[in-house]
Structure 1
Amino acid sequence: MLVRWLLAAIHLLAFGLALASILRRTRGLRRCTSTEALPQIFSADNGWGISAVLLIVTGAVRAFGGFEKGADYYLHEPLFHVKMGALVLILLLEIAPMMALLRWRLAVRRGDVPDLTGAPKYASIGVWQTVLLVVMVFAATGMARGVGIGMFGD
């Protein structure tokens, strides 16, 4: 019981960290016109990455590690599919910003000035990731309250 509670608490806190981090990174990218903005963007990006790892690990352990309702329940729960679909979209959308931020970090380490022209595009991607993260929260809370059961033709 204690492990289930701790996993759930960490999972929920990771959603909070994810939301704060992606909003902070998006705001930084939206305002990014020089390398002065990069430390804040890199810090927010670190939080976004940490939250992603926490969400994926605690979610997988909860769903498939025997701590919650079990894999059979989740795999037959429509809102779980909505949540996982949103996660997959977030991860796919993350490829371009992640690669750019890696290039920017390397350029800064070498003492070069990175090409920041893609920052507005990556900020727009962050907005969509934020929306999808909120979708994940609604799907998760719906599952926790049995909303999806019977609602989608089950």
Structure 2
Amino acid sequence: MLIHWFLAALHLLAFALGFWAVLTRGAAFRQLAAGAGEVGRVLLADNLWGMAALVLLITGGVRAFGGYEKGADYYLHQPLFHVKMTLLVLILLLELAPMIALIRWRMARAGGASIDSGRAGVFARISHAEALLLVLMVMAASGMARGVTFS
């Protein structure tokens, strides 16, 4: 029973860290776009966002399909789980452009080259959209935990 509690707590804490990190990354991108930010702040927030996302994926997968919660059959037949997974896919799709750009930024920085921050404003908006989608995921998860159905 302790592992159930630990996985649930870790999953919720990862949501909190991810929400904070993606909002912080968005703010850092916005500052960079305005010419007042630092690339290092963007990259640090992105690292935390990535770590939170990894913890969310692992703990979520283990909880849903590892026999620690209601079981795969419940989740696969729960409409709010499908909403939550759709939101996850949207976040992953939105994350592609910033992720590729930030990988390039890290490589350029390591090589001593300049960084093209021309799309920082776009990446700020993407980050804030991802934060909103995370909130919607938490709402879907809360509905699932309360047994909300649509019938």
TM (norm. structure 1) is: 0.94
Identity %: 55
27-36 or 55-64, which deviates more: 27-36
9-18 or 36-45, which deviates more: 36-45
Contact 2:28–2:42, Cα closer than 8 Å, also in 1? yes
Q: Could you tell me which residue of structure 1 aligns to residue 25 of structure 2?
A: 25
Contact 2:31–2:37, Cα closer than 8 Å, also in 1? no
Contact 2:81–2:144, Cα closer than 8 Å, also in 1? yes
Separation of aligned partners in 2, 1:123 and 1:36: 12
Structure 2 counterpart of 1:46, one-letter code: N
Contact 2:25–2:41, Cα closer than 8 Å, also in 1? yes
Structure 2 counterpart of 1:27, one-letter code: A
Shift of 1:143: 0.6
1:142 equivalent in alignment to 2:149: no
SS in 1 for 2:118: coil
Separation of aligned partners in 2, 1:20 and 1:97: 17
Q: Could you tell me which residue of structure 1 aligns to residue 14 of structure 2?
A: 14
Cα deviations across residues 96-140 of structure 1 (Å, max 9, x unaligned)? 000001111111111111111010011111111111000000001
Shift of 1:36: 5.6
Structure 1 counterpart of 2:4, one-letter code: R
Separation of aligned partners in 2, 1:146 and 1:30: 39
Shift of 1:55: 0.3
Q: Could you tell me which residue of structure 2 aligns to residue 54 of structure 1?
A: 55
Cα deviations across residues 41-89 of structure 1 (Å, max 9, x unaligned)? 1100000000000000000000000000000000011110111100000
Shift of 1:91: 0.4
Question: Where in structure 2 are there 5+ consecutive unaligned residues?
Answer: none
1:125 equivalent in alignment to 2:126: yes
Structure 1 counterpart of 2:61, one-letter code: A
Cα deviations across residues 132-151 of structure 1 (Å, max 9, x unaligned)? 0000000011111111x2xx
Structure 2 counterpart of 1:68, one-letter code: E
Question: Where in structure 1 are there 5+ consecutive unaligned residues?
Answer: none
Structure 1 counterpart of 2:83, one-letter code: V
SS in 1 for 2:115: coil
TM (norm. structure 2) is: 0.96
Moved over 4 A (4+): 33-36
Q: Could you tell me which residue of structure 1 aligns to residue 68 of structure 2?
A: 67
Contact 1:35–1:113, Cα closer than 8 Å, also in 2? no
